[in-house]
Amino acid sequence: MDHVGKLSIVENEDQEDTCTTLVLHNEDHTLGNVLRHMLVKNPEVEFAGYSIPHPSENKINLRIQTYETPCLTVMYRALDDTMDVCDHVLGEIDRAEKEFNQQK
């Protein structure tokens, strides 16, 4: 298993780019559920799911299966989409805070 920082890729026998299991270290349901949601919204993704191997282990296994696009490509897209959503939410919070402070 290759391990670089928070992400490692579980080697599969087929060496298919369209079916991969990733291990995200030091993560839990918070990121796992968000990434799974972003992945299944992508029409290029056939299956996306995650599991936590054991409650005492601080990692998630994320399984991605695509029709043709490499799994890492859709994973990076899901991460980018997640950051875009977070930026939008932060912008809305800032806007609402300014509007609230102006009403005082």
pLDDT averaged over every residue in the chain: 91
Cβ atoms of 20 and 13 within 8 Å: the answer is no
pTM comes to 0.84
Measured in whole angstroms, the distance separating CA 19 from the mean position of its chain's CA atoms is: 15
The predicted pLDDT at position 4 comes to 56
The predicted pLDDT at position 66 comes to 96
Q: What is the pLDDT of residues 49-80, one digit of tens each?
A: 999 999 888 899 999 999 999 999 999 999 99
Q: How confident is the model at residue 40 (pLDDT cuts 50, 70, 90)?
A: very high
Asked if pLDDT for residue 23 goes beyond 80, the answer is: yes
Torsion of CA 65, 68, 73, 78, to 10 degrees: -60
Cβ atoms of 60 and 32 within 8 Å: the answer is yes
* Closest to 42 (Cα-Cα) out of 65, 73, 67, 74: 74
* Closest to 16 (Cα-Cα) out of 63, 60, 57, 49: 63
- Torsion sign (Cα): 68, 73, 76, 80: negative
CA distance 95 to 85: 15
Q: Which helix (H) or strand (E) holds 82?
A: helix 71-102
